[in-house]
Structure 1
Amino acid sequence: MINPSVTFHVVPMEAIHGEAICKWSYTPPYNIYGWMPWEQMQALGIEFGDPQLREEQYISILNEHEVLCGFAQLFPMEGVVRLGVGMRPDLCGHGLGKLFVDAIVQTALNRYPDREIDLEVLTWNQRAIRTYQKCGFTITDTYERRTPTGDKPFYCMVYDK
């Protein structure tokens, strides 16, 4: 267990954060959450490799020592903001998820006070599902979605304000 007194705060994602995130390596089966190389994301102008998208939708989560611990995308849709969440691999599974996700949810509530908050999670990712449930999310739907390795089952989870 990592020190339970850790605190997280949210800042706009900087390019240096995006570059660091692209170097993170998750162990299977979580390796599906890895990113392509930073230079490729920038060249293609996708996700946080696109400076405008990074500024508008991406946030970085830092600890009390200003160390990058993760990121989130706050993707605005009609009446909803959809969260995409990523924690640094070496921090996963150490009981920090609730504090981490709570910081992201608070940012989404502040930025989009009138919108519902939801997220998608692969149905096999019970570690993440338990964390989201502890943070007030409920499974509302199940569906298949395309991933880099083919169609996979996902849950949609909605935050209960």
Structure 2
Amino acid sequence: MTKVIATDILSWKYDPPYDLYNNDFTDGAISELMNEGYIAVEDESGALIGFYCSGHSAQVPAGRGAGAYTEPAIDVGVGMHPELTGKGNGSLFLSFVLNELKTLSSDSIFRLTVAKFNKRAMKLYENLGFKKTYEFKSDTNEFIIMLKW
């Protein structure tokens, strides 16, 4: 992740109801993308198509307080360019990310946290073998934990 790529990602704007995923453009946000294990994903031509992170960076803080992340698993966070979402690109993108993360452990359990309203993402995750296991709330949203064994 470079500063140029982080700046690009922070400029992405998703249409409602997915605007929950819009980011504020701050020095702290740039620093987080550059220093917290975020990985940029580019296509064969070098165009930025998305990013992913794992571990602590992929967790929702309210979920930590609710005990959602007590079991061992590789937490996965993903973001795809808004122009590519909702067009059937998610399966290939997430499969690529999971294959990359499998290098951390061959018998890994993967864990995703998804906003409860995001039925489109949940359908994708279920199609790739994830199962809903836990729900929690933040001050403003509800979330679902999904696991893949």
Question: By the TM > 0.5 criterion, same fold?
Answer: yes
- Give 4+ residue runs of structure 1 displaced > 4 Å after superposition: none
Q: Which runs of 5+ in 2 are unaligned?
A: 57-68
Residue of structure 1 in register with 2:50 after alignment: 70
- Alpha-carbon separation, structure 2, partners of 1:104 and 1:72: 7
- Is the 8 Å Cα contact of residues 121 and 156 (structure 1) preserved in structure 2? yes
The structure carrying a bigger helix percent of its residues is 2
Residue of structure 2 in register with 1:60 after alignment: 40
How do 1:113-132 and structure 2 match up within 5 A? Answer: 113-132=106-125
Query: How far apart are residue 38 of structure 1 and its match?
Result: 4.6
Query: How far apart are residue 105 of structure 1 and its match?
Result: 0.7
Q: Which runs of 5+ in 1 are unaligned?
A: 1-12
How do 1:41-60 and structure 2 match up within 5 A? Answer: 41-42=29-30, 45=31, 47-48=32-33, 51-53=34-36, 57-60=37-40
- Alpha-carbon separation, structure 1, partners of 2:107 and 2:88: 30
Residue of structure 2 in register with 1:10 after alignment: none
- Alpha-carbon separation, structure 2, partners of 1:119 and 1:38: 25
Give TM-score, length-normalised by structure 1.
Answer: 0.76
How many residues are paired up?
136
How do 1:1-161 and structure 2 match up within 5 A? Answer: 13-42=1-30, 45=31, 47-48=32-33, 51-53=34-36, 57-75=37-55, 79-146=72-139, 150=140, 152-160=141-149
| Cα distance change on mapping 1:63 and 1:38 into 2, 3 Å | farther
Residue of structure 1 in register with 2:62 after alignment: none
Q: Deviations over 1:97-154 (max 9, x none)?
A: 00000011111111243542101101110110111112221111122134xxx2x221
| Cα distance change on mapping 1:157 and 1:29 into 2, 3 Å | same
Q: Deviations over 1:26-72 (max 9, x none)?
A: 11111110111153524xx4x21xx432xxx2111111211100011
- Is the 8 Å Cα contact of residues 25 and 34 (structure 1) preserved in structure 2? yes
- Alpha-carbon separation, structure 1, partners of 2:42 and 2:54: 16
Residue of structure 1 in register with 2:66 after alignment: none
